[in-house]
Amino acid sequence: MVEHPPGARLIDKALDVLLLCRDAGEPIGVTAAARRLAMPKSSAARIVRALVRRGFLRQEETTGRYALSNIYYSFASALSEGSDLISLSVPCMERVHRALRETVHLNVVDGVERVCVHVLDSPQQLKTVMSVGQRSPLHCGGSSKALLAFSDEKTIERVFARPFRRYTQNTISGKGAMREELRRIRARGYAESDGERVRGVTSVSVPVFFPGGKLAASLTVSVPSSRYTGRRKERILRELAAAAAGITRRLK
């Protein structure tokens, strides 16, 4: 049997914690992590603190539990040429960006959250700001609602099992109201947010599907609400629909 030095064993345990957080599907506490990994709680706590300090885990303010941080999406961005979804989406996103000169971003589901995986910033002085790795709950905002509406039932029920945090006066916080909103999104094929997560920001988002029909991502245009008009909305929807269809064709 090969003996592993203490340092290697510690690395193994830290990786076990990271993999557990990846696979848990929701934030996990130190006690639960220690129990599931059969290690002393004190050891799990030390590892978690180190991973938080180095930016690999983040702690939820409301529950005190831990989840993977945004740092992994910086790696994904650096390796975007190797990511089919991102690399194949970029040309279509660039066409939307050129046509509208607004912020365009691509988002995916991660557990019960929406994560931005690629952004093209608006060149205008007044613009909305989004960053790769930025997360938000799936009940709030155009990108999130477009993902949630077309997610599998298991994901939807996991989201509905949690409280809906209210970010602004426009956030949908009622479960019944959200189920009705998701029905509307499925019927019309797009989601819209008027300052649901950030005041003064309007977003329009469409789902992107793999060729077999499984949800891949949401594609979103975010604009300052002061620039959002009925005519502007129509053009945004045209550009997004064409781009989403283009991405699906590329994902063969």
Q: Is residue 157 classed exposed, middle or buried when 0-12, 13-18 and 19+ CB atoms within 10 A define those classes?
A: exposed
Give the tens place of pLDDT for each residue, 184-204.
Answer: 999 999 999 999 999 999 999
* pLDDT at position 176 over 90: yes
> Where is the domain boundary, 30, 51, 68?
68
Give yes or no for a contact between 239 and 247, defined as CB atoms under 8 angstroms apart: no
Query: Quick one: 167 and 211 in the same domain?
Result: yes
Query: Quick one: 62 and 106 in the same domain?
Result: no
* pLDDT at position 217 over 90: yes
Q: How confident is the model at residue 82 (pLDDT cuts 50, 70, 90)?
A: very low
Q: What is the domain count for the chain?
A: 2
Say which residues have a Cβ less than 8 Å from residue 209's Cβ, sequence separation at least 6: 150, 215, 216, 244, 248
Helix or strand holding residue 194 (H, E): strand 191-194
**What confidence score (pLDDT) does residue 77 get?**
54
Say which residues have a Cβ less than 8 Å from residue 78's Cβ, sequence separation at least 6: none
Per the DSSP assignment, residues forming a β-bridge with 106 are: 118, 219
Rounded average pLDDT over 66-86: 66
Query: Quick one: 52 and 77 in the same domain?
Result: no
Q: What is the CATH number of the domain that holds 217?
A: 3.30.450.40
Give the tens place of pLDDT for each residue, 23-72.
Answer: 877 889 999 999 999 999 999 999 999 998 888 898 987 889 998 886 66
Query: Quick one: 131 and 42 in the same domain?
Result: no
Q: What value, to the nearest 5°, has the Cα angle with vertex 212 and ends 208 and 213? A: 45
pTM of the model: 0.72
Query: Quick one: 245 and 169 in the same domain?
Result: yes
Which residues form the domain of 51? 6-68
> Where is the domain boundary, 45, 68, 91?
68
Residue 1 falls within a domain, yes or no? no
Residue 182 falls within a domain, yes or no? yes
Residue type, 240: L
Cα dist from 220 to 91, 114, 178, 212, whole Å: 15, 12, 20, 22
Helix or strand holding residue 208 (H, E): strand 201-209
**What confidence score (pLDDT) does residue 1 get?**
42
> Where is the domain boundary, 47, 68, 89?
68
**What confidence score (pLDDT) does residue 5 get?**
60
Query: Quick one: 33 and 76 in the same domain?
Result: no
Query: Quick one: 134 and 44 in the same domain?
Result: no
Query: Quick one: 54 and 167 in the same domain?
Result: no
Give the tens place of pLDDT for each residue, 97-156.
Answer: 999 999 999 999 988 889 898 999 999 999 999 888 888 899 999 999 999 999 999 999
**What confidence score (pLDDT) does residue 48 get?**
93
Give yes or no for a contact between 198 and 103, defined as CB atoms under 8 angstroms apart: no
* pLDDT at position 81 over 80: no
Query: Quick one: 164 and 210 in the same domain?
Result: yes
Per the DSSP assignment, residues forming a β-bridge with 194 are: 202
